[in-house]
Amino acid sequence: MNILVTGANGFIGQALCPALQRRGHAVRRAVRNRHAASQSGAQEGTVALGNIDEQTDWSSALQGVDAVIHLAARVHVMQESAGDLLAAFRRVNVAGTERLARAAAEAGVKRLVYVSSIKVNGEETALGGKFTENDAPAPQDPYAVSKLEAEQALHRVAAETGLEVVIVRPPLVYGPGVKGNFRQMLKVLESGVPLPLAAIHNLRSLVYVDNLADALIACASHPAASGQTYLVSDGQDISTPALLRKLGAALGKRAWLLPLPVRLLRALAKLAGKGAQADRLFGSLRVDSGKIRSQLEWMPPHTLQQGLQATAEWYRTENYL
């Protein structure tokens, strides 16, 4: 197929585009500007669109395209007041996504795969529970609200135009090139600083970026995926202390973990204004990926251990060369 990937120079896009090409698909990359195109290392087949919002002109990007995998999104809002947060997310994630979907339908595109977020389901599961596709949405912040509203807009477009829509809600994505808290975790482990996290008893689902790319390709091509929503993960849930130990071992470093009471750590984090980050460290968030496995006969090609090892090797290479 001819597949348009938006956000092609981002973390997931840089894993997805080569994976698509290895499967024999032709890839058109949509990025914000030519500088981003040069950074992605792939000028040919790259379209610079400018900002993604309700006015974006998608015509050149969509010409001759069979399917779209929509990765581009606004994730962080900088230097804007709290009152502007939801509006800023909505402009890109809701209005921009709906504009793309309607343009795709007009251009004769058959299917659009939308990468949403597990945050649509909520921020935390009970220790023995898992999120499923049938759960009532419970977004807790403006970003998650905008992702849910984008899903709803896509369903409207699908009903009006016949465009096939597939929604994928991944949990934390990791792998070579990862940023944010996961990269910070690698940095702390590499430094050997002790962490007071040994007493945490939780379970969290993760998805290795190459596993997510493989799932997105299945969603773009499998006939049974049309109109479906899928949760996807590596299928091996892990506690925060176990994750730190495995990452430390992959880095060739011992993870020094101290058993401080979780209640005390939560209180200290809240005082420091880091309550949300603490919740992600201490709480459980598990997903049931049984639906995509049964309907699409999809299995993650890499284990959690393989994904963590590849991430650690990338980090070591980046920091020691």
Catalytic residues: 143
What is the torsion angle, in degrees rounded to the nearest 10, for the CA atoms of residue 48, residue 161, residue 3 and residue 62? -30
User: Do the beta carbons of residue 204 and residue 238 sit within 8 Å?
Assistant: yes
Helix axes 97-106, 142-161, angle to 10 degrees: 20
Q: What gap in Å lies between CA 134 and CA 297, rounded to an integer? A: 19
Which residue type is seen at 277?
Q
Helix (H), strand (E) at residue 121: none
Other C-beta atoms lying within 10 Å of the C-beta of residue 194: 11
CA 294, 298, 304 angle in degrees (round to 5)?
A: 115
Coil/strand/helix, residue 250: helix
Q: What gap in Å lies between CA 267 and CA 271, rounded to an integer? A: 6
